[in-house]
Amino acid sequence: MQYISTRGGIETAVALEDAIMAGTAPDGGLYIPGQLPAADLDRIPVNAPIDKVALELLKPFFAGSELTDSLEDICTQAFNFPAPLHTISDSNGKRNEHLSVLELFHGPTAAFKDFGARFLAATMSKIIQQRGDSEATIVVATSGDTGGAVAAAFHKQPGTRVVVLFPEGRVSPRQQHQLTCWGDNIISLAVKGEFDDCQRLAKELFANTKASNKFNLCSANSINVGRLLPQSVYYAKTSLDYQAAHGKSSNYIVPTGNLGNAFACAWAKQRGLPIGELILATNANRSIPDYLEKGEWQPRNSIATLASAMDVGNPSNMERLRNLWGDANELSNRLRAFSVTDEAIQTRIVTEFKDYGIAWCPHTATAFEVYRNLPEDERQQAHWIIAATAHAAKFDEIVEPLIGTPIAIPEELAHLLEWPASFDTIEPSIDEVISRL
Residue 304: give its domain's CATH number: 3.40.50.1100
The residues near 281 (Cβ < 8 Å, ≥ 6 apart) are 253, 254, 255, 256, 337, 338, 340, 366, 367, 369, 370
User: Mean pLDDT across the stretch 72-90?
Assistant: 92
Tens of pLDDT along 88-129? 876 667 788 899 999 999 998 899 999 999 999 999 888 888
C-alpha closest to that of 44 among 62, 32, 65, 60: 60
Q: Is residue 303 part of a domain?
A: yes
Q: Is residue 270 part of a domain?
A: yes
Q: Is residue 96 part of a domain?
A: yes
Q: Is residue 289 part of a domain?
A: yes
What is the rounded CA–CA span in Å between residue 60 and residue 379? 35
Q: Which of 135-149, 326-340, 370-384, 404-418 is predicted with the least confidence, judged by mean pLDDT? A: 135-149
Count of domains forming the chain: 1
Q: Is residue 53 part of a domain?
A: no
- pLDDT bin (cut points 50, 70, 90) of residue 187 is very high
Q: Is residue 51 part of a domain?
A: no
6 backbone dihedrals φ, ψ, rounded to 5°: -65, -15
- On the question of pLDDT at 335 being above 90, the answer is yes
Instruction: Find the domain containing 399 and state its range.
Output: 82-111+226-410
- pLDDT bin (cut points 50, 70, 90) of residue 307 is very high
- On the question of pLDDT at 170 being above 90, the answer is no
> Alpha helices of 138-194 — where are they, by DSSP H?
145-154, 173-180
More confident residue, 28 or 321: 321
Q: Is residue 424 part of a domain?
A: no
- pLDDT bin (cut points 50, 70, 90) of residue 423 is very high
Q: Mean pLDDT across the chain, nearest whole number?
A: 92
For residue 83, give the DSSP letter. -
Q: Would you please indicate which residues are annotated as catalytic (active-site) residues? A: 113
Tens of pLDDT along 363-407? 999 999 999 999 999 999 999 999 999 999 989 999 999 999 999
Q: Which of 222-226, 238-242, 384-388 is predicted with the least confidence, judged by mean pLDDT? A: 222-226
Q: Which of 52-56, 262-266, 273-277, 310-314 is predicted with the least confidence, judged by mean pLDDT? A: 310-314
Q: Which helix (H) or strand (E) holds 322?
A: helix 318-325
The reported pLDDT for the residue numbered 355 is 92
Q: Is residue 366 part of a domain?
A: yes
- pLDDT bin (cut points 50, 70, 90) of residue 347 is very high
- On the question of pLDDT at 9 being above 70, the answer is no
